[in-house]
Amino acid sequence: MNDFSVKSVLKKNVMTIALFGIYVLFVVLALVFKSTNMLEPSIVSSLIEQNAYVFVLGAGMLMCMLTGGNIDLSVGSVVCFVGAIVGLFSVENRIIQMPLSVPVVLLIALGVGVAYGALLGFLIAYVRIPPWIATLAGYLAFRGLGTQILTKASETNALSLPNTVASGELSDIFSGRLFETDWGVMNIPCVIMGVVGVMVFVFITLSARNKKIRKGYQADPVWYVAVKLSLISAVIMFFTIEFSFDGGMPTVVLWILGVLLLYGIVTEKTTIGRHFMTVGGNAEAARLSGINNKRVMFFAYFNMAILTVIAALIVTVRTGAANSFAGQEYELDAIAACIVGGVSAYGGAGTVIGMVVGATLIGVINQGMSLVGVDQNWIKIVKGLVLLAAVVFEIVSKKSKEKSSKIQTKKSSSAEDEIAKAQAEIEKAIKDALDETAEPSAESVVTTES
């Protein structure tokens, strides 16, 4: 396992490499076909801002999936419902004449999450309703409920958040920029945050490695650490510099980082995370090892509901309105991010960082294809194929890994072949789609600018 040959390191990080490759591919394609520079600050920050909800929901979905491949189908509808509640209480409308203050609205939204999460967790963990059925009920009911509220409250079936809310307090919390400056001017606080971030990251990595060496454990080789540190630092600096020319660090980035760090630590470093993995890996073994399976299931869904509220606030504030079609297919985006990110569809295995790579990969494909001018329907087709390819890849590579470590495989080279094949498939699928649609969709340019 502790194999640091170049081949095995590449194999382990194949999705990240695929992400880099596809990103570069789209940058080139966009430049060649549309003379659009995908590296432009506004486009880069919109990639993050548009996909913020996927990262947040993905973290929750990851926890659900860890418990045994369970999913939550209701998150999209709950996003719509929470948005409707936020709109209802913060805008003067046909039902509520006196808008409430922002803190109260936030408390109400959180209350909705707590109540729904507790109910859902109870039904799934203690009444033992299969998760997909319990959440399918939520999927239907909350879409209806949200739409109903909006229909009753407004003639247009939507509640636009007034400036005091959309660009006021609520906006400061969930949207906008930190220490905002003009577009095109380097935002110094943002760059400082990036530099500090890199320094903290380097320091933590090196001190953990030193501790390992001091205690006499096997530490990662120097070249590996050096490459890892410089690549990740480069990514951090890339984003902060891009953000710095687009008015500053988007506030939502802090939310994303907060959620990802929290869940990264919980899944990797705590006993709670271990409990989730074990319940998904073998529920009976977990129970007989003194783990309270029911409590784990309860918290998986309770937690999902809380994160859904956060995602709903981010999305509602960003769009500046509560809509009846808000949050459509969000649950599927979160599930897809997890699956593409290597989270086991059967539970027991998966990492936050994997989910992030998966979410970004899908986000890049979305944005890149739109910029290149591919038709929305084709984007869906490609996303479907990518999802499928990721799962096929996971299962095939797991199989060949199992076989080779049990020393029962037929051909040793199959794993590499399969990786190459899977990558080729992804690229071919994208190219095919591009070729076919390059002509007809030339006029229907879809911009991702918001």
Partner 1 sequence: MAKVLLEMNSITKTFPGVKALDNVNLKVEEGEIHALVGENGAGKSTLMNVLSGIYPYGSYTGDIIYDGEVCNFHNIKDSEKKGIVIIHQELALIPYMTIGENMFLGNEQGSKWCIDWNKTYAEADKYLEMVGLTDSSKTLIKDIGTGKQQLVEIAKALAKHAKLLILDEPTSSLNETDSRALLDLMKKLKGEGMTMIIISHKLNEVSYVADKITVVRDGSTIETLDAAIDDISETRIIKGMVGREITDRFPKRHGVEIGDVMMEVKDWTVYHPEFSERKVCDGVSIDVRAGEVVGIYGLMGAGRTELAMSIFGRSYGIGISGELWLRGNPVTLKSPKQAIEAGLAYVTEDRKGNGLVLSNSILRNTTLANLKGVSNGTFIDKDKEYEVAQEYVEKLRTKTPSVDQLVGNLSGGNQQKVLLAKWMFANPDVLILDEPTRGIDVGAKYEIYCIINDLAKAGKSVVMISSELPEVIGMSDRIYIMNQAKIVGEMKASEATQENIMACIVGVSGEKNYADGEGSEA
Query: Which parts of this chain interact with partner 1 (CB under 8 A)?
Result: 1-2, 211-212, 215, 217, 269-272, 274, 277-278, 281-282, 284-292, 344, 348-349, 402, 404-412
> Taking the CA of residue 350 as centre, how many other CA atoms within 13 Å lie in the half-sphere pointing to its CB?
37
What residues contact 385, with CB distance under 8 A and at least 6 apart? 425, 426, 429
Of 401 and 428, CB closest to partner 1: 401
What is the rounded distance in angstroms from the CA atom of residue 8 to the CA atom of residue 428?
Answer: 25
Q: What is the DSSP string of 29-58?
A: HHHHHH---TTSHHHHHHHHHHHHHHHHHH
Smallest distance from the beta carbon of 405 to partner 1, in angstroms?
5
Minimum distance from CB of 344 to partner 1 (Å)? 8
Smallest separation, CB 56 to partner 1 (Å): 23
Output 135 or 397, the one with its CB closest to partner 1. 397
Smaller CB separation from partner 1, 182 or 290: 290
From the CB of 419, what's the least distance to partner 1, in Å?
16
* Residue with smaller CB distance to partner 1, 211 or 428: 211
Q: Tally the residues of the chain.
A: 450
Helices (H), 320-375: 330-340, 352-372
> Which string of DSSP letters, residue by residue, matches 393-421?
HHHHHHHHHHHHHTT--S-TTHHHHHHHH
User: Rounded to whole angstroms, how far apart are CA atoms 184 and 24?
Assistant: 23
According to DSSP, residue 91 is labeled: S
Q: Which is nearer to partner 1, 128 or 212 (CB)?
A: 212
Asked if 374 contacts 434 with a C-beta cutoff of 8 angstroms, the reply is yes
Shortest spacing between CB 197 and partner 1, in angstroms: 22
* CB 420 to partner 1: min, Å: 18
- Residue 151 or 409: which CB sits closer to partner 1? 409
Minimum distance of partner 1 from residue 125's CB (angstroms) = 15
- Which of residues 127 and 215 has its CB atom nearest to partner 1 in the complex? 215
Closest CA to 138 of 151, 123, 152: 123
The closest alpha carbon to 56, from 450, 448, 352, 387, belongs to 352
